[in-house]
Amino acid sequence: MAKHGFPRGMGMGGNLNNLMKQAQKMQEQMLKAQEELAEKTVEATVGGGAVTVVATGAKEIKEIRISKEAVDPDDVETLQDLVLAAVNEALRQADELAKNMMGGLTGGLGNIPGLF
């Protein structure tokens, strides 16, 4: 072994090139997973079917359905609460979907706050 701790013939360049190739492969896999997330949807329903929200795995709200029975002009606050609850649940499900899809690619990196 050489004094720097690398096997003969490898040196820093060989390890760095290998690391760069692995990083590029991981980046390609992550981009593909992100594209797949944008196509997948989750659905959250609250209030016994009063409000349903459909979101993509990329956290884009695609649809909000409100049943006619949920619309009461004298109680707008309840409808607002139902919509809020459905949106938050859909986004929570989208986060869970993303965590499951990306977890295999990122290993321990997925635990870094704000990374995804």
pTM for this entry: 0.69
Q: Which amino acid is at 68?
A: K
CA distance 61 to 95: 13
Q: Is residue 77 part of a domain?
A: yes
The CA radius of gyration of the chain, in Å to the nearest whole number, is 23
Question: Which residue type is seen at 102?
Answer: M
pLDDT at 2 over 70: no
Count how many domains the chain has.
Answer: 1
Q: 92 in a domain, yes or no?
A: yes
Could you tell me where the beta strands, DSSP code E, fall in 1-116? 41-46, 51-56, 61-66
Q: Which one has a higher pLDDT value, 38 or 108?
A: 38
Q: How confident is the model at residue 103 (pLDDT cuts 50, 70, 90)?
A: confident
d(CA 86, CA 50): 10
In a domain, 26, yes or no: yes
The CATH number covering residue 49 comes to: 3.30.1310.10
pLDDT over threshold 60, residue 28: yes
What does the pLDDT read at residue 29? 86
**How does residue 111 score in pLDDT terms, banded at 50, 70 and 90?**
low
What is the CB neighbour count within 10 angstroms for residue 64? Answer: 14
